[in-house]
């Protein structure tokens, strides 16, 4: 077990409160990540194309994964096959959401 002191952190994402425990020195990074996620999820929700918290969360996660993989690819450490798989999965999710269908992942 780590000797790093833990801090209790409360964040709001789409008007819902979540409690986390994290190392004191990681608190700011957690709050920044939560704000980034909240902002992305609000944009997706406000677009009106995606309904339901779970679907909004999946779309936000796919968007962030795609951005991460693109960033890794820019510095030469990315896996092009993985980037392609995320891209295809994102396209499937978006197409399904446009048709208003449930998608089995």
Share of the chain above pLDDT 70, in %: 82
CATH of the domain at 57: 3.30.160.880
Domains contained in the chain, number: 1
The CB density around residue 97, as the number of other CB atoms within 10 Å, is: 20
> Predicted confidence band at 1 (pLDDT cuts at 50, 70, 90)?
very low
pTM of the model: 0.66
Q: Is the pLDDT of residue 11 over 90?
A: yes
Q: Each residue of 69-103: pLDDT tens digit?
A: 888 776 555 567 777 777 777 777 777 777 765 55
Q: Which domain holds residue 65?
A: 6-99
- Inter-axis angle of helices 53-74 and 27-47, nearest 10: 120
């Amino acid at each position: 077990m780590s000797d790093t002191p833990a801090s209790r952190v409360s964040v709001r994402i789409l008007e819902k409160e979540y409690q986390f425990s994290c190392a004191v020195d990681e608190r700011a990074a957690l709050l920044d990540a939560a704000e980034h996620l909240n902002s992305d999820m609000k944009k997706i929700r406000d677009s009106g194309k995606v309904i339901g918290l779970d679907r909004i969360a999946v779309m936000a996660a796919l968007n962030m994964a795609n951005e991460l993989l693109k960033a890794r690819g820019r510095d030469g450490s990315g896996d092009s096959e993985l980037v392609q798989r995320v891209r295809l999965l994102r396209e499937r999710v978006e197409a399904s959401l446009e048709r208003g269908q449930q998608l089995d992942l």
